[in-house]
Amino acid sequence: MVRRVAVVGAGNSGLVSIKTCVAEGLEPVCFESSDDIGGLWRYKESPEPERSSIYRSLVVNTSKEMMCFSDFPMPDDYPNYMHNSQLLRYFRLYADHFDLLPYIRFQTSVRSVTQRPDFSVSGQWDIVTVNGDGDEESHVFDAVLVCSGHYTEPVLPMSDFPGNEEFSGRCLHSVEYKDADAYRGKRAVVVGIGNSGGDIAVEISRSAEKTFLSTRHGSWVMGRMSSHGLPLDMIRVSRLNKTLSLLLPKSLLNWAIERRLNSKYDHRLYALKPKHR
């Protein structure tokens, strides 16, 4: 008997899960709550509740050489670091090449996943789904792969900012940011120096009257490119570097990396030098 596998979500993880299940002789059924594949990488003009959201200019921070599926290289004409629309196009090429779309039920949300009464013997799951018309349906599966992502709930801790109630400006999470046009001629502060914080601060600074980037602890800032114009992750992620990191003293490794980063610009001069190595 062929084992049935439920796949929740048709983003990049969901697509490769469907393909792998088919290759292993399983019967996957993917439930996707939206009307298309791509998950996080589908740009929308307006953020939707309980869905991830990206900004118009977003470029990936992992090179195509490192992030492509091993059995489906990215097109040669793609840049090392591609725009979000190119990555979504790559997922479409992948889905078409392996004929994955017939396994996906679009506009179908998973309402519940529970163990069956005889789970200790059968290992099976009861799943309840609801389609776009509001009709519920019950299913039985031998396994469940949850590929729904983890960038769906924005964290906006306004209670940590005393006085925000009297602030006459606008406070928003990066999930609501789309482009810098709304900040033209304004003064803006971006809180947080993660990937999106750095991206958005740079972009806003080209339109705003003044842009501030606020960070509590500083950060070691690394560019996407390494020596000889090669992608940073291609150079850093290797068996040699992994072996060296296990053999050499951590203090020596930290000194070498920090020295190289500070040769581009001194982190201390820009109040970016963190306490952590």
Residue 273 inside a domain? The answer is: no
What's the rounded mean pLDDT across residues 169-191?
94
Structure-model confidence comparison of residues 155 and 254, the more confident one: 254
| Token pair 């789904």: residue | 129
Q: Indicate if 40 and 129 belong to the same structural domain.
A: yes
- Alpha carbons within 13 angstroms on the beta-carbon side of residue 247 total 6
* Statement to judge: residues 45 and 84 lie in one domain: yes
Both 101 and 184 in one domain: the answer is no
Domain identity same for 127 and 241: no
Q: What is the pLDDT of residue 100?
A: 98
User: Is the per-residue pLDDT at 98 higher than 90?
Assistant: yes
pLDDT 10s digits, 100-112: 999 999 999 999 9
Contact between 41 and 88 under an 8 Å Cβ cutoff? The reply is yes
Residue 271 falls inside a structural domain: no
Domain shared by 142 and 33, yes or no: yes
Residues 4, 29 contacting (CB under 8 angstroms): yes
What mean pLDDT is predicted for residues 9-26?
97
Is the full-model pTM beyond 0.75?
yes
Q: Which range is least confidently modeled, 16-20, 159-163, 203-207?
A: 159-163
Question: Are both 33 and 127 inside the same structural domain?
Answer: yes
Look at residue 1 and tell me whether its pLDDT is greater than 90: no
Please, what is the angle between helix 12-23 and helix 84-97, to 10°?
A: 20
Query: How does residue 48 score in pLDDT terms, banded at 50, 70 and 90?
Result: confident
* Same domain? 44 vs 132: yes
Is residue 270 one of the residues assigned to a domain? no
Is 151 a member of any domain?
A: no
What's the pLDDT tens digit per position in 259-273?
999 998 899 999 999
pLDDT at position 47 is 85
**195: domain CATH number?**
3.50.50.60
- Domain annotation covers residue 117: yes
Whether 197 has a pLDDT exceeding 90, the answer reads yes
**Same structural domain for residues 60 and 104?**
yes
CA angle 17–175–275, rounded 5-degree value: 95
State yes or no: pLDDT of 80 exceeds 90. Answer: yes
Domain count, the chain: 3
Closest by alpha carbon to 33, among 163, 120, 130? 130
Contacts of 235 (CB under 8 A, 6+ apart): 226, 227
pLDDT band (50, 70, 90) for residue 243: very high
Tens digit of pLDDT for each residue in 116-169? 999 999 999 999 999 989 999 999 999 999 999 888 888 888 888 898 889 999
Does residue 275 sit within a domain? no
Question: What is the span of the domain harbouring residue 12?
Answer: 4-146
